[in-house]
Amino acid sequence: MWTTIAVIAVLLLYFIAVYNGLIARRNQVREAWATVDTQLKRRYDLIPNLIETVRGAAKHESETLAAVTSARNAAMSATGPMSADAQNKLTQTLKSLFAVAESYPDLKANQNFLELQRELADTENKIQATRQFYNTVVMGLNTQIEQFPSNIIANMFNITPEKMFEIDEAEKVAPKVQF
């Protein structure tokens, strides 16, 4: 009888440990996404200042500026890890904004523009780092959900795999460099 009670107690403790591990990993994923969101908010706050600086020097580039503004608004309204497409579109339009800036020597020499460009580059680096961390914790959660016997416990409590943050096909293509 004591043996049966001991086996049940060990199984119960194992069940609790696996469940708590799954919950901890799920919370890590949520925290990692919140960190990505924080960096994205910083990016969103910098973009209007950057656009205004460019607008002053390049009045006839309104189409590019409108595209950046539209992409920023779309990215801000997208939520969760599923917003990867909107974030990728914003990244592409920012690249076109910097390409426009290259055509204006006065703008390239403007201290305000240079500082905003540096801050945005720093923010982009932080976004990449936080996305990488997010993907790492998602991989940990998804792996644990798929492994036996924790997959049984995950299914019992409807703990589902999370989606990785992935870049779109347009960003996978290397830029063409011509001299």
Nearest CA-CA partner of 19 in 139, 162, 158, 163: 158
Query: pLDDT digits over 74-98, tens only?
Result: 777 776 655 677 777 777 777 776 7
CATH superfamily for 2-172 is LemA-like domain (1.20.1440.20)
Domain range summary for the chain, segments of one domain joined by +: 2-172
Q: CA angle, 131 as apex, 148 and 174 as ends, to 5°?
A: 110
Residue 123 tokens read as 């923010």
pTM across the whole model? 0.67
pLDDT at 95: 72
